[in-house]
Structure 1
Amino acid sequence: MPAKRKSSSRSLTMHLVSPNRPEAQRLDPDIRRQQILEAAISYFAEAGFAGQTRELSKRIGVTQSLLYRYYPSKQDLIEAVFDAVFLKPWDPKWTKALRDRSKPLRERLIVFYSDYAQTAYRPEWIRIYMHAGLAGMGLNRNYLQIVRRRLLHVMCRELRAGLFGDHPALRGSAVTGRELEMIWNLHGSMFYWAVRKNIFSSAETSDFDLRTADAVDLFLAGALALYPKLFKALQDQKSRRGQTPEVQSR
């Protein structure tokens, strides 16, 4: 019996890749494209981007030529995966909600991370993101730029307004690199929670809502301690800019 099963498995594999067989079951082109895309998301999340389209086509049960009919190159498929996993799920309401000053800043941050986690902290999202980072892919860096521009800068502005209002040191000042690093500390800690949960399968990951509230509280307490130092640095910077060239050269 084991020998027969092995032979059957070998015959099935030969059938899947045989150039003479009819090309898989006919499906509506949109359905087939989505089938390939969903399989690619699962495959790259597991194998990384070094995975071969030949293996992917076997998993789907189609020929490689059929796969390339929908995605002409592996790079086209990778870009479609990035679009489906990272870009299309992006919700503009996140930024709008972060800017809603009718609600306390703490509440806005907690609600944001609760919503963001539904999109970003899923196993395939985390694994694909990590694989892309290890591979040094530009698409990964593009996503970081989106996060920085649409989320972190907004958080910095709202943090300033929520904690210090129209403080003279902050008036007219661009967001500083030090402020962005402070926000990255919060954002990175939330991301690492998802890494421990989805990659390391850590049993220590606490309830997400409690973890989020704790992280936001620690962040806000840290911001209150750090900003007085930032105020002094910004005021000194403004003073230097206000000096005449003759004074600056002394």
Structure 2
Amino acid sequence: MTGLLDSPKTKAPKAAAPKKKRMDPDEREAHIVAEAVRFFAEQGFEGKTRDLAKRIGITQPLLYRYFPSKESLIERVYQEVYVQRWNPDWESLITDRQMPLADRLSRFYREYSRAVYDYVWVRMFVYSGLKGVDINDRYLRGIKDKVLRPICTELRHAHGLPSPNEVPIGEQELELAWGLHGSFFYRAIRRYVYNLTSAADSDVAIDNEVRVFLAGVEPVQRQLVETQAEQPAH
């Protein structure tokens, strides 16, 4: 006689796999963009959309329903990472003559560095230059107009030099401002490309960079403005 202990065991029924939540179109689009930002930061713009789709867990045709081309996806990433991080208040901060120029520049570059320089922003910016994507050109044109020219103008005012309406700002003068701006970008490159971290307080480092710049820029700028004033008008 067969006892209960000898009877074959019945297997418990498998629990049904939980159904994946279906994203609405806006959610899906935002998810694709967020993953694309991380993907391009890691892989560069050489990364294939089929690999991106696989990483997201969707088909490539579905990705193309939201972004008809890789270029349109890159454009959306540009808007997300570069355009939306720009604070229009920074432009008025640079030109606010109620504050000392050193304080304005230090505050601007502190806020700018915190808002902009991170793993995604820096690596995508470097990759776009290597790949020939126009992110660099578009963004740097904006920096030139919204940051560098105003800095040159404010330096002239601080040093009692002619305004740009009297003597146009030349390329060599702009290079002075590029030097200041580039010093902060290089700090971000060291961290997010070379993986070199620093124990130095970043705000203090920014203040020091601004102080060094202002301590030496006046005689050089004065000479450049005088040379520019001698150039024949076009």
Shared fold per TM-score greater than 0.5? yes
Query: Quick one: which of 20, 27, 36 aligns to 2:23?
Result: 27
Partner of 1:70: 66
Give the secondary structure class of the aligned counterpart of 2:194. Answer: coil
Equivalent residue for 1:223, pick from 214, 217, 222: 217
Residues 95-106 of structure 1 correspond to what in structure 2 (within 5 A)?
A: 95-106=91-102
Number of corresponding residues: 214
> Is residue 123 from structure 1 mapped to residue 119 from structure 2 by the alignment?
yes
Which sections of structure 2, spanning at least 5 residues, go unmatched?
1-19
1:46 aligns with 2:42: yes
Asked whether the 8 Å contact 2:82–2:121 carries over to 1, the reply is: yes
Shift of 1:171: 6.5
Match of 2:142 in 1: 146
Q: Which of structures 1 and 2 has the bigger CA Rg?
A: 2
Say what the alpha-carbon RMSD is for the aligned residues.
1.7
For 1:108-159, what per-residue CA distance to the aligned partner results, in whole angstroms no more than 9, with x for missing partners? 0000011111222011000000000111122321111111011111111111
Out of 224-233 and 81-90, give the one that drifted further. 224-233
**After the TM superposition, which residues 74-113 of structure 1 pair with which residues of structure 2 at under 5 Å, given as runs?**
74-113=70-109
- From 168, 177, 184, the counterpart of 1:183: 177
SS at match of 1:200: coil
Which residue of the other structure, out of 36, 52, 57, is the alignment partner of 2:32? 36
- Amino-acid identity (%): 39
Structure 1's unaligned 5+ residue stretches are 1-23, 242-250
| Structure in which a larger fraction of residues adopt helix | 1
Q: How far apart, CA to CA, are the structure 2 residues paired with 1:185 and 1:168?
A: 22
Paired residue secondary structure (1:148): helix
Partner of 1:208: 202
Return the match for 1:157 from 150, 153, 158: 153
The alpha-carbon distance between structure 1 residues 61 and 85, as it changes in their structure 2 partners (threshold 3 A), is same
CA offsets per residue over residues 96-118 of structure 1, 9 Å max, x none?
11111000000000000111112
1:194 to 188, 191, 201: 188
Runs of 4+ aligned residues of structure 1 deviating over 6 Å after TM superposition are none
Is the contact made by 1:169 and 1:231 (CA closer than 8 Å) also made in structure 2?
no
TM-score (norm 2): 0.86
2:125–2:136 contact (8 Å) kept in structure 1 = yes
Change in 2 beyond 3 A, CA 1:215/1:26: same
Deviations 1:156-183 (A, max 9, x none): 1111112x23x35877111111110000
